[in-house]
Structure 1
Amino acid sequence: MLGRLTLTVALVLPLQAMAQAKAGWGNVGEPEEKGFSWTDPLWPDFWMAWTPATLVVFIGIFSAIAVIGLLEGVKYRDGIERKGVLGLTTTLGDRLFITLLGSVYIFLAWLGIMGQPIWIPLFIAIGWGIFVFWKV
C-alpha cells in the first residue's frame, strides 16, 4: 500500500509542476507585456494625465478651430452669417462653439443616466453637429 502511494506521488508531482509551468506560474514575478490602451498615461510623470484619448480629443478640437479660422480668413471673409431655427445670427465659429458645447452636454447626460459604452452618444453628438451646421 505504501509503495503504491509513493509511486502515485512520484508520478503525479512532476506532472503538476509541468502543468503549472505551462499555465504561466514560471513567470509570475516578471513584468507582463501590455498592448495599447486608450486609458494608460502617455507620460506617467507629467503633471497632467495625458492619455491617447484626451490627446485625440484636443487635437480634434484645435484642428476644427484651425479649419474654421482658415475658412473664415481665406474663403469666407464676411463670415457666412445667418439666422437659423434657434433665432440666433451665427457665424461658422459660433456654430462650432454651439456644436462643441452641445456635444459635451450630450456626453455628460449620457454618462450620468446610462453610463458606458459611449458609442451611442458619439453618434448623437455627430448628428447634433450636422444639425447645427445645417440649420442653426
Structure 2
Amino acid sequence: MEWMAWTLPTALFFAGIAALLAGMTLWELVSPSGERRGYLPIQTTRGDRLFMGLLGSAFVHLIVVGLTDWSSWFASAISLLGLILIIKWG
C-alpha cells in the first residue's frame, strides 16, 4: 500500500487554505458581507464563494496530483487560479 507523500507545494497549498479561513473569519467579524450575484447561478456572500472556491480547488488539486504526472506546483497554480476566479467574480 502506498501512502501520499506530502510535497512542499501540497503542504503550502493546505497551509494557504488555513490562512484563508483565518483571514476570512477576521474580515467577516470586522465587516460582515451582503449577498450578491456574480456568474454563479445563486446569490452568495464572501464566505459562500470562499467555501465553493476552496472545495473546488481542493478537488482539482487532488485530482491533478493523484491522476497525472504533472508537477504539484502546476496543480497548486491551477487550484489557486480557480479559487481566485470564484472569490472575485463568482
Partner of 1:123: 77
Give the letter aligned to residue 108 of structure 1: L
Q: How many residues align?
A: 85
Gaps of 5+ in 2: none
Task: Output one character per residue of 1:47-105: Cα deviation in whole Å (capped at 9) or x when no partner.
Answer: xxxx685765554323211211111111x22x132112121211111111111111111
Task: Output one character per residue of 1:8-36: Cα deviation in whole Å (capped at 9) or x when no partner.
Answer: xxxxxxxxxxxxxxxxxxxxxxxxxxxxx
Partner of 2:27: 71
The higher relative CO (CA closer than 8 Å, separation ≥ 6) is in 2
TM-score w.r.t. length of structure 2:
0.73
Coordinate RMSD, CA, aligned: 2.4
Task: Output one character per residue of 1:81-130: Cα deviation in whole Å (capped at 9) or x when no partner.
Answer: 21121212111111111111111111222134313421212111111111
Gaps of 5+ in 1: 1-38, 40-50
TM-score w.r.t. length of structure 1:
0.52
Structure with more helix by fraction: 2
In 2, Cα distance between equivalents of 1:99 and 1:121: 15
Partner of 2:40: 86
Percent of paired sites with the same residue:
33
Partner of 1:110: 64
Bigger radius of gyration among the two = 1
